[in-house]
Chains A and B, each alone.
Chain A
Amino acid sequence: EPEVTQTPSHQVTQMGQEVILRCVPISNHLYFYWYRQILGQKVEFLVSFYNNEISEKSEIFDDQFSVERPDGSNFTLKIRSTKLEDSAMYFCASSGTGSSEQYFGPGTRLTVT
């Protein structure tokens, strides 16, 4: 069964460093998303991506963040100059259409020290 994959599973970085989180969405899906979950809090939306551009972003998704689909399979989230409060679980998701079921990856646990 097709699934969303994410790498790495755990990333530890120092404050101020840049990190790139990688995702491989389900191959025939057209909509891609990043969400994050700070420990003990709700899952919250960061950004959606369709047709090679951002379709929506939350107020969390400021200039520190960027997304890219560098080739036909990968979808990346870049966080520049990480802060302690960026420590969270980051989930990638994909769906076939903008209104269909979203499938989530296993997440990347980001720890900023």
Chain B
Amino acid sequence: KQEVTQIPAALSVPEGENLVLNCSFTDSAIYNLQWFRQDPGKGLTSLLLIQSSQREQTSGRLNASLDKSSGRSTLYIAASQPGDSATYLCAVPHYNQGGKLIFGQGTELSVKP
């Protein structure tokens, strides 16, 4: 059974710092991994989708890496800003199950001015 874990559960950093959020999954037979942002009481905004054949995917100040064999993904945020404060979720599709996503519990990020 696929399980997704995110560490740390919460992170507080000063503005301008580079940071890394971690996601691990137990079943490496995935075909992609998706990172989301969730603001309090709001929906999920897709940030990056990284395919199983890729090792990295970049969007602006965000860079996601994927190491399928070790069951890990990282989300790197460069030059963090207070507007980056949110909960970041990673999710993997349940293999051969028509796209059902299994979510981690998220990392709550606070960027202090």
Binding site for B on A (CB under 8 A): 31, 33, 35, 41-45, 48, 50, 55-56, 58, 89, 91, 93, 95, 97-107, 109
Contact = CB atoms under 8 A, between A and B. Distances in A.
Given A42-B103, A99-B31, A56 B43 contact: no
A33 B97 CA distance: 12
23 contacts: A31-B99, A33-B100, A33-B101, A35-B101, A43-B44, A43-B103, A44-B103, A45-B101, A50-B98, A89-B41, A91-B43, A93-B44, A93-B101, A98-B98, A98-B99, A99-B32, A99-B93, A100-B49, A101-B32, A101-B49, A105-B43, A106-B43, A107-B43
A55 to B, nearest CB: 4
B90 to A, nearest CB: 11
A77 to B, nearest CB: 15
Contacts, number: 66
B77 interface: no
Contacts of B41: 89, 109
Interface of B: 31-32, 34, 36, 41-46, 49, 89, 91, 93-94, 97-106
Contacts of B106: 42
Contacts of B97: 48, 56
A95 B99 contact: yes
A93 B99 CA distance: 11
Q: What 8 A-B pairs have minimum CB-CB distances, sorted nearest first?
A: A106-B43, A104-B44, A98-B99, A43-B103, A101-B49, A55-B98, A98-B98, A107-B43
Contacts of B34: 101-102
Of B36, B99, B103, most A-chain CB atoms within 10 Å: B99
A42 B104 contact: yes
A110 to B, nearest CB: 13
Nearest to A10: B41
Given A41-B105, A43-B91, 16 more contacts: A42-B103, A42-B105, A43-B103, A45-B101, A48-B99, A48-B100, A58-B100, A93-B44, A98-B98, A102-B46, A104-B36, A104-B43, A104-B44, A104-B45, A104-B46, A105-B43
